[in-house]
Amino acid sequence: RRVTPEVLEQVFNEFITVATADKHIRSGGIDYAREMLEKALGQERAREILTRLTSHLRRRPFDAVRHTDPVHLASFLQNEHPQTVAVIMAHLDPDKAAQVLLGLPPERQADIIRRVATLDRTSPEMLREAEKVLERKASAIVSQESTAAGGINWAVDVLNRVDRTTEKTIMGLLSADDPELASEISQRMFLFDDIVNLDDRTVQRILREVDMNRDLPLALKAAKEEVWRKIMNNVSKRTAEALREAVEYMGPVRIRDV
């Protein structure tokens, strides 16, 4: 379909207006940008464009490293201040954060978990400082907003994802350094043995999400008798027999893998 010169001019003028508004928003002049857009395009259209522009600018901290390999990220952070590391890790998803934590020296892990667990809201200044660290080694984006991250639940989530040996080492060091915090984290952590305290319906729901061929037999390998009983009472007879066989034929495994 042919576009008339009038439509082309209208589109071009709107593009110039929006681009100018975008520049003013980035420099902090959002009120001026709103006024300019409303005069040129009307209130409703101005609101739509402002919403689109501001949402585009509202990027999460550390977007640039969310897809970075955890091994590389851990190497970036080896010699950085633990508070900087804590701020960065608190803005990663727990799976990636757990992998990064495992890549850091064991003697630093408990300190970093403690710092993350006691984070509440990170100031813009601290975010900028942490992002400068990554700018020297990767790419980063400066956020102007105070961002909620970290906290005890985050620390618990990460510790639930690392191997048992690392978890015990970190909790031991944390208990010596901050017994109250360590106690609170311990109370919130779900260990496999805790499954005996759950009702049968909850256990059955959990088992539906578990890999019955690998993960569950591995967990049962070193499980207590009451845990075995709880599991067997919540699976079919056929599944129970298959689990027993899987555990029996699994052979010896490392404690850290259980």
Residues 159 and 233 reside in one and the same domain: no
Residues 69 and 37 reside in one and the same domain: no
Q: Distance between CA atoms of 192 and 164, rounded to whole angstroms? A: 11
Section 114-139 average pLDDT: 70
- Domain span at residue 24 reads 5-57
| Mean pLDDT of all residues belonging to the chain | 72
Alpha carbon distance, N-terminus to C-terminus of the chain: 66
What is the domain-level CATH number for residue 233? 1.10.220.30
Residues 123 and 157 reside in one and the same domain: yes
Q: Which residues of 192-221 are buried (b: 16+ CB within 10 A; e: fewer)?
A: beebeeeeeeebeeeeeeeeeeeebbbbbb
Q: Which of 188, 207, 234 is the last residue of a domain?
A: 188
Residues 166 and 74 reside in one and the same domain: yes
| 124 pLDDT more than 80 | no
Q: Distance between CA atoms of 150 and 58, rounded to whole angstroms? A: 20
Give pLDDT, residue 123: 64
Q: How confident is the model at residue 11 (pLDDT cuts 50, 70, 90)?
A: very low
Residues 174 and 226 reside in one and the same domain: no
Residues 72 and 164 reside in one and the same domain: yes
| 63 pLDDT more than 50 | yes
Report how many domains make up the chain: 3
Q: Distance between CA atoms of 9 and 76, rounded to whole angstroms? A: 50
Total count of residues recorded for the chain:
258
Residues 183 and 235 reside in one and the same domain: no
Q: How confident is the model at residue 77 (pLDDT cuts 50, 70, 90)?
A: confident
Residues 142 and 248 reside in one and the same domain: no
Residues 137 and 163 reside in one and the same domain: yes
Q: Which of 188, 218, 238 is the last residue of a domain?
A: 188
**CA nearest neighbour of 13 among 36, 35, 31, 44:** 36
Residues 52 and 68 reside in one and the same domain: no
Cα 159 → chain centroid: 12
Q: What is the pTM of this model?
A: 0.39
Best-predicted range by mean pLDDT (20-24, 67-71, 193-197, 240-244): 240-244
| 158 pLDDT more than 50 | yes
Give pLDDT, residue 26: 46
| 21 pLDDT more than 70 | no
pLDDT tens for residues 49-61?
Answer: 666 655 554 455 5
Give pLDDT, residue 27: 44
Residues 111 and 183 reside in one and the same domain: yes
Q: Distance between CA atoms of 37 and 21, rounded to whole angstroms? A: 7
Residues 122 and 179 reside in one and the same domain: yes
